[in-house]
A and B are shown apart, each in its own frame.
Chain A
Amino acid sequence: MGYKILFGVLLLGGLLISLVNAAGSVSTQSCWTPWDHNSDVRQWNQNEWVWTGIHGKVVVCNGKFQRIITDTVYGTATAKGMEWYRPEHRVTSSYAYYKVVYKRYSETYPSTAIADIPNYWG
């Protein structure tokens, strides 16, 4: 009889412990929110450059990218000394980029610079 009670207690205890463990592993799954960044800078001289850069936190679980935390994202898409340039941005939880289409005076046609995340954690 005593053995049966002991066996029951052990079984219940084991179940309880494994449940706690399972719950713990869900909540403490290896997720973290590192910073990710990227840039595409082109400089010909002090007064002629194009700069795209982006910086933001991403959620990474078990080493795998989950999403971008959009309100941490900041970026820049700017240029100096160009005939014209047009910035383009996208900031969403799945993908974010800052892009510039620019036209140098010395070149016949425009070119593109782009910085996007996820980059290191993609």
Chain B
Amino acid sequence: MKNRPLLSLFIISQLVTLSSPALSSDYTTLNMDGVYLKYALLAPNNTQGHDVNIFEVYLPRMPERPRSLILGRLNGTEPDELVSLVVRGDVFLTFRILSIQNETALVNTTLELTNVWIYNRYYLRRIVLSTILTLDLKRMQYIDDNGSLLGRPTFLVSPVDLPPKNSLLVNMSGVKKLGAITRDILVGNVSYSPLEDAKLHTYYRTFEPPYIYISSSQVPFYWKLSDGYYSTTIWNYYVYDFDTGVLITGLFDVTPELLALGVINGDSYDYLAAKKMDELQKKGIRHELWNPGFNLYDTNIKFPETSSTATPSTGMRYFFTVSLVVLLLTAISPWRWRRG
């Protein structure tokens, strides 16, 4: 009886020690300056005609060089056209943190499309779109020159400060100004449970559960164009690393970064990952997954060895051993005292 306070103090101290380093210190020590994260949608060698990713790009919102490239390929195209880029090759999406100052970061986003058919008939071997956005690190939102919120960064969440349900994911007022009928994309579900029993493969490395899963609200999109219309439903989901908050994989057609590149609606289907997933299923391998979305392809982030990877670090092992000894001591101590 005498030892109950001692025991509970021990358990609380253990809980605090267990939870805090994995969540906060790893995240804050993740040096963001100069970080890059590259994601890919890869096309298998024998890609079929229907296996495409379509990027709807609005020419006036595009960076200058790729816009000239498209206009040069299309004769007599109106300069304010929504152009369909039908992609049969690999797609790369790279985020690079250029500099950090006073809790804002400059983030460069580059989208590279290969084996592109404009309107499915004019060929381009490769097209690269690149732009820079300002990220408010405190609010984890991109901001424009007036300080208005553009939406959350796609590549990172803060594991200790996850976005609440119904908070802003992508501000759609920019496309609404162009005449599209739509709504802001909001945070739908935030959860640790999806894929909780499965390893997740990417081109860079294999991740282990738990993950942070975030899905968006479903948003209708209708845009009446001068000679027709474009209509779709937007729904995104993202899977982040539990320890670092770095994006592992996701299906997202509309993000603040893509909108800043003039991509009104993209596609994010990784046909090679889907093929790899089929192979796993055929082999009867359970608890291992490939997600057919943008998958981590390369990065200079050093992922910490914590709960997401197999074994605890040496320090943690010593801690557990010492804890076990203390626990045994507290368990046998009443018996010793009673004897004394």
Interface residues of A (CB under 8 A from B): 40, 65, 70, 86-97, 99, 108-114, 116, 118, 122
Check B228 for interface membership: any CB of A closer than 8 A: yes
Residues of B within 8 A of A96 (CB): 228
Q: Given A86-B232, A99-B54, A112-B269, A118 and B225 touching (CB < 8 A)? A: no
Q: Given A99-B54, A112-B50, A114-B52, A91 and B121 touching (CB < 8 A)? A: no
Interface residues of B (CB under 8 A from A): 50-52, 54, 56, 77, 81-82, 84, 119-121, 225, 227-233, 235, 269, 274, 277, 281, 289, 291-292
Residues of A within 8 A of B119 (CB): 94-95
Classify the secondary structure of A's interface with B.
strand
A-B contact pairs, 16 of them (CB 8 A): A70-B228, A87-B233, A88-B231, A92-B225, A92-B229, A92-B230, A94-B81, A95-B120, A108-B277, A108-B281, A108-B289, A110-B292, A111-B274, A112-B50, A114-B50, A122-B120
Q: Once bound together, how far apart are the Cα atoms of A96 and B86, in whole Å?
A: 12
A-B CB proximity, top 5 nearest = A92-B228, A88-B232, A95-B119, A91-B228, A93-B227
Residues of A within 8 A of B292 (CB): 109-110
What would 14 more interface pairs be, CB under 8 Å, given A94-B227, A97-B54? A65-B121, A86-B232, A89-B229, A89-B230, A93-B228, A94-B77, A95-B84, A95-B120, A96-B228, A99-B54, A108-B281, A111-B274, A112-B52, A116-B120
CB of A98, distance to nearest CB on chain B (Å): 10
Q: Given A70-B227, A95-B119, A88 and B50 touching (CB < 8 A)? A: no
CB of A95, distance to nearest CB on chain B (Å): 4
Residues of A within 8 A of B82 (CB): 92
Cβ of B274 and Cβ of A109 under 8 Å apart?
A: yes
Closest to A119 in B: B120
Q: Once bound together, how far apart are the Cα atoms of A93 and B274, in whole Å?
A: 33
